[in-house]
Structure 1
Amino acid sequence: MKVKTIFIVIIAVLVTIILMKNTDEVNFWLFGDTSVPKLAVLATMFLLGLIVGFILGRPRKKTNTTTVTPPVISTPPLEINRPDHPSRLSPEDEDYIK
């Protein structure tokens, strides 16, 4: 098993134990007093934490604000083999080309 999988299993077991041990009722004020199980409050806060952590922890898309100009490559002029210009090729290379 991978370390990440083991870590997720351990966290899930711990969260389950904590939620099952806290089943009694608590007074919760949400625009008025209500009696809510502690289990519901803890589970809601845990899920909100997961959602916020997922949203803040995901990688953001990189925006490329800088423009890259392509490099200017200057090439020497091509020399064309003409009869009036001597060839730089060896006689063997000239025979191969012919």
Structure 2
Amino acid sequence: MRITTMLIIVITVLLTIVLMQNTDPVRFTILFSDVRMSKLTAMAATAVVGFVLGYLVGRPKRAREIAPQYREDDEEGDGFDTLSEEDRKYISND
């Protein structure tokens, strides 16, 4: 087995042990109401919400088009020549 597979198995087993040790009921105050649920349910719900939020925040952003009409191989140019003759000589004589 690969190291990553073994690591995932170990983490899953440890998480299962921690969750199964915390099955006693607890009272939570959510906004203005009291809710009784097991620690297992609260911890699992927190883990799922954390995973979903982490996925949404960490996913790569879609590339935006800034100027869809611009092409890099566009050779037409804009008609403006801003380089002086001195600049051209400097550039060509590396």
Name the TM-score, length of structure 1 as normaliser: 0.60
Aligned partner (choices 61, 66, 71) of residue 68 of structure 1: 71
SS at match of 2:71: coil
1:21-74, Cα deviation, whole Å (9 max, x unpaired)? 11111111123122211111101001111111111222222123253342439x
- Cα distance change of structure 1 residues 61 and 2 upon mapping to structure 2, 3 Å threshold: farther
Larger mean CA deviation between 39-48 and 29-38 belongs to 29-38
1:9-32, Cα deviation, whole Å (9 max, x unpaired)? 222222111100111111111231
Matched pairs, number: 73
Percentage of pairs with the same residue: 34
Alignment of 1:1-98 (within 5 A): 1-30=1-30, 31-66=32-67, 67-72=70-75
Which structure has more relative contact order (CA 8 Å, sep 6+)? It is 2
Over the aligned positions, Cα root-mean-square deviation in angstroms equals: 2.2
Which structure has the larger Rg over C-alpha atoms?
1
Q: How far, CA to CA, are the matches of 2:2 and 2:8 in structure 1? A: 10
SS at match of 1:26: strand
- Residue ranges of structure 1 left out of the alignment (5+ in a row): 74-98
Amino acid of the structure 1 residue aligned with 2:41: A
